[in-house]
Chains A and B, each alone.
Chain A
C-alpha cells in the first residue's frame, strides 16, 4: 500500500512539473510586448525597453522559469501588469470566490444526482428510469451559457427572483441563495447529467453482479442487500469520479462567471489572457491545475484506502 501511495504522489509531482513547464512556455509565447502593455501607447520605445530590462524579461528562458517556479512556491507571485496589485492576494481572493460558488453547486446537486441515479438503476428499464435517464442525459447536456442566459432571462429579468449580477454573498443564507443560485444553476444542470449517469451505470453493474445474487439468494432483507452489498460497492467509484469533477469545476466556471459578473478565478483567467497579463495568468492557471491534480491524487488515495483489494496489496 505504501508503495502505491508513493508511486501516486510521484506521478502527481511529475505531472505538476510538466504542467508548470507548459504554462510557462505558453505564457512566453503570448504575443504582445509586456513593457508596452504596462506603459501603454504613448510611452517611448526607450521607456518600454527600460521597463523590460527592469522586469528581467531579457534574461534566458530557463533562468526565468527557475525564478518563477521558486518564487511561486514561496508565495511571491509578483504583481499584475494591468492592475498593478500583488498577484497573490488577487488570485487567492478570486479563487476563494470560485470555491464558494462551486461548493454551493456541488452541495446542492450531488446528493440529488446520486440518489436519482441509484433510483434509476433500481427501476431500470421501467418508466422512472427512462424519465430520469432522458432528462439527465439529453436535456441537461446544455452549454452553460445557454442555461445561464435562459435562466437569467426567465428567473431574473422576467420574475425578478434573483439579481442580474452576482456578488460574493455574505454569510447569511438568503444572501447566499440569492447571489449564488443563478450562476450555480448551469453547472448543477451539467453535473446532474454526468453524475446521475455514472451512479446509474455503477449501480446497475453491481446489481447484476454475482455477489448481489448471492446476497439475495441467501435470503437477506432488501435493505441489507441494497445498502451493504450493492451500494457499498457501486458508490465508491462514483464518489471518486465526483471528486475529480469537483477539482475540474473550479477552472471551468469561466462562462458563468462572465455572464453573471461574478468575481471568480475563471473570469480572472479570461481577462488576464486577453490583456496579456502574464504574472496573473501564470499564477492563476497554475493554481487551477494544481487544485485539479491534488484533487485527483486525493481521490485516488481515498479509493485505495476504501478498496480492500488495493489497501492490502
Chain B
C-alpha cells in the first residue's frame, strides 16, 4: 500500500484503488486503478451503470467490503488517515463522525423494531456523549432541519409507518447527526417517485451548503448528479474514464462512453418525431472480465488497435480543467457530429390520418382490493380510450393505480364496476389473447427461468399464432427472434444466461408472437440500464410503427413518455386527471399535478430552475380525500371548493381534457409565468 499524497484540505483521497472479489477459483476484478479526491465542502458525483463498481467504491470508503473482497492495491484516506489499514477501534470512531453514508433502500436500512427517533438519537448518544434525553432533543432539532413538518410525531414512529421519502430523510438526519466531514450517498433516490426525489435532492443540496459537508453522490443518473455536484466522475466497468466540472462534462463530454450515454437518453422535450435515441452498441461487459486495454474498447466506435493493448491513462485536456481516459481524443469531434445528426433524425414521420379509431374503450372502471387496512378502491371511475395506431402514455406515481389499470385492461383482474370494450372483450380467453398482449416491467421474473428462449417463444407461437406444423413453427420462432434483434445462439439459452436487455427482448418477442392489435407495456424499460433502455425503446417504437399497433405505455419517467407517446394520460390516486395529445398536455394549461410532475422532471434533467415543491404525503387509497383528490397537496388550491366539490372536466381543445376547478384561461396565464418557490 502506498502512502498517498494528500493535499491538506482534501477530505477523501482515493489513489489507484483496485478491488476484486474472490469467487471459487477466480479473482474477479471490480475496480481497476481508480483515483479521485474530494475537497472540503465539495460535491463530487460518481456516475455509472450497473456493474461498474460504484457501490464497491462506497463500501470501500466505509471499510465494509464483503468478506470475499480483496483490495489488490491502492489506498483510501479520509481526512488524511488510511481507512484500509485502520483498526476496528479507529473505524468505530470514524464512522459517523468523519464519514457517513445514506443508502439506496431506506426501508430495509432501518431497524424495524426500533422507533426512528431512537435510531438517530443513538448517534448523538454514542458519538456525542449526550444523555438519551439530550440526544432525543437534538434529534428533534435535526428532524426539523430535514423538513419534517411534525418532528415530534416522527420521533415515535417505526420505519414501516413512514413513506419512502420520509424514511430517507430519517437516514439523512442520521448520517449528518455527528457532522461528518464526508457524506456518501449511494443511489439515495432510486425507487422514489419523481416528486419525492426532487424533494430529497433539494434537501441534500441545502444541508450540504449549510453544513459544508463534502459529498460523494453515487448514481446512474447524470441528470441528478448534475443538479447537485460541482464535479463528476464517470465510471465504466471499474475504470474512471472521465472526470471534470459537471457543466463541462455534460455540455462537451470528452469520452466516447459519456458521449454515447448522453445520446441514448431522451433529452427533455424531445419527441420521436423530431429525434431518436442512439444506443451504445453491444452490452455491458460481465462482472470481472479481464480487460487488458481500455474498458470501453469492445463497444467503442472509434476504437483503434492501440486501445486494446494497454489501459489509457486519465489525462487532462488542453485547458487542464477536466480529465479523460481516451487515446483517440482528437477524433472525438467526428464521433460527436455523427451522433448529433443521428440523434436529430426522427424515428417516426407518419402520422395516422383520419379520425381516431378506438380499439379499447374503458368506461367508468372501478377496481377494489382488500388490504390490511380494509378495502381500498384502487381505481375509481376511470374512463380512457386507446386508439388504433397510437401510443397512449400513462403517467403516475406510486399509488396512482396505473399498474392496476394496465392489468385490468389486460384481463388479469376482473373489474368491480364499469366496462372495458374492445374487439377482444367478451370473447374466449384465447381470442382475447390474440388481440391484446402485455410486456412487464421486470425481465428477471417475466420469463420462466426453467425454459429456454426457443421454448418460451415456441409456446407463444403455438398458442397465439396460426395453426402450423412443427417445422413451420420452428421457422416462425427464428423469424420472431430476428424481429427483436436476437441472435440464433440465444435460442438455446435459458434466461439466467441473458442480460436484462436480452431478456426484455425475449419478453417482447413473446408478446408479439401472435400479432396482437394492442399491447400494454408496464414500464418495459425502467428496470434496465440506461444504455440498454434506448435499444428497447427504439425496438418498441419501430415495431409499433411497422405494424400500426396501439400501445398503452406506462411509465413514471415523463421524459420517456413525452418522447414516445402520441397522447398522454395522467393518473393520481386512482383517477385520470388529465388526458390529451402529448404536446397539449406538456404545455400550459395543464392540471396542477401535471405541472408539478413536469417541474420535478425538468429540475432533475436540466440545470437548475425553480421548482414547485409538493407538500405532504400521498394520501392512502383506503381514505381518499374528498372533492378533488389532489386538494390536500395542490400548490394552486383554491380553498373549500376544492375540498368539497369534485372538479368538473374541462375541455381544452382537440381531445385535451383535465379535471380542475380553476378555469382554463386562469391556468394558462398562471402556468406560463416563471414559477415562484413554494406555497
Contacts and interface: CB of A to CB of B under 8 A. Distances in A.
Interface of A: 209-211, 213-222, 224, 228-229, 232-233, 236, 307-309, 312-313
B64 A213 contact: yes
Given A216-B64, A218-B123, 11 more contacts: A211-B111, A214-B111, A215-B111, A217-B96, A217-B100, A219-B127, A220-B126, A224-B126, A229-B114, A233-B112, A308-B113
A204 B114 CA distance: 19
B57 interface: no
Nearest to B120: A218
Interface in B337-357: none
Interface string B88-113: 00011111110011010100111111
B64 A308 contact: no
B102 to A, nearest CB: 10
Contacts, number: 77
B126 A214 contact: no
A224 B95 contact: no
Contact of A218 (B108, B112, B122, B372): B122
B435 interface: no
A236 B111 CA distance: 14
Given A217-B101, A220-B126, A308-B158, A233 B64 contact: no
Given A213-B64, A308-B160, A312-B161, A219 B96 contact: yes
What are the nearest 8 A-B pairs in CB distance? A219-B96, A219-B95, A210-B108, A210-B109, A308-B158, A218-B96, A211-B111, A214-B109
Contacts of A233: 111-113
Nearest to A214: B109
B373 interface: yes
B309 to A, nearest CB: 40
Contacts of B660: none
A211 B126 contact: no
B62 interface: yes
Contacts of A221: 92, 126
B325 interface: no
Contacts of B94: 219
Given A216-B64, A219-B126, A309 B160 contact: yes
Interface in B25-76: 62, 64
B585 interface: no
Nearest to B91: A219
A211 B372 contact: no
Contact of B111 (A217, A222, A229, A312): A229
B174 interface: yes
A232 B113 contact: yes
B109 A213 contact: yes
Given A214-B109, A217-B64, A228 B174 contact: no
Contacts of A209: 108
A41 to B, nearest CB: 63
A233 B112 CA distance: 8
B472 to A, nearest CB: 51
A220 B114 CA distance: 15
Contacts of B161: 312
B158 A312 contact: yes
A112 B584 CA distance: 71
Contacts of A210: 103, 105, 108-109
A313 B64 CA distance: 35
Contacts of A309: 112, 158, 160
A224 B111 contact: no
Interface string B609-621: 0000000000000
Nearest to A208: B66
A222 B161 CA distance: 28
A218 B109 contact: no
B161 to A, nearest CB: 7
A12 B670 CA distance: 62
Nearest to B123: A218
A220 B171 CA distance: 15
A214 B103 contact: yes
Contacts of B112: 211, 233, 308-309
Interface in B122-166: 122-123, 126-127, 158, 160-161
Interface in B154-200: 158, 160-161, 171, 174-175, 178
A228 B112 CA distance: 11
A213 B113 CA distance: 15
A219 B93 contact: yes
Contacts of A213: 64, 103, 109
7 contacts: A209-B108, A210-B109, A213-B64, A214-B110, A220-B126, A222-B92, A229-B114
A44 B93 CA distance: 91
A29 B100 CA distance: 70
A218 B64 contact: no
B123 A211 contact: no
Contacts of B127: 219
Contacts of A220: 92, 122, 126
A215 B111 CA distance: 8
B155 to A, nearest CB: 15
Nearest to B111: A211
B62 A217 contact: yes
Contacts of B171: 214
B199 to A, nearest CB: 22
Nearest to B107: A210
A215 B113 CA distance: 13
Contacts of B122: 215, 218, 220, 224
A229 to B, nearest CB: 5
Contacts of B108: 209-211
B137 to A, nearest CB: 19
B219 to A, nearest CB: 18
Contacts of A217: 62, 64, 95-96, 100-101
Contacts of A236: 113
B113 A307 contact: yes
A224 B96 CA distance: 15
A75 to B, nearest CB: 40
Interface in B428-486: none
Given A213-B64, A312-B161, A218 B110 contact: no
Contacts of B100: 217-218
Contacts of A216: 64, 95
A101 to B, nearest CB: 35
A67 B161 CA distance: 50
Contacts of A307: 113
A211 B100 CA distance: 14
Nearest to B94: A219
B109 A219 contact: no
Contacts of A312: 158, 161
B22 to A, nearest CB: 13
A209 B105 CA distance: 12
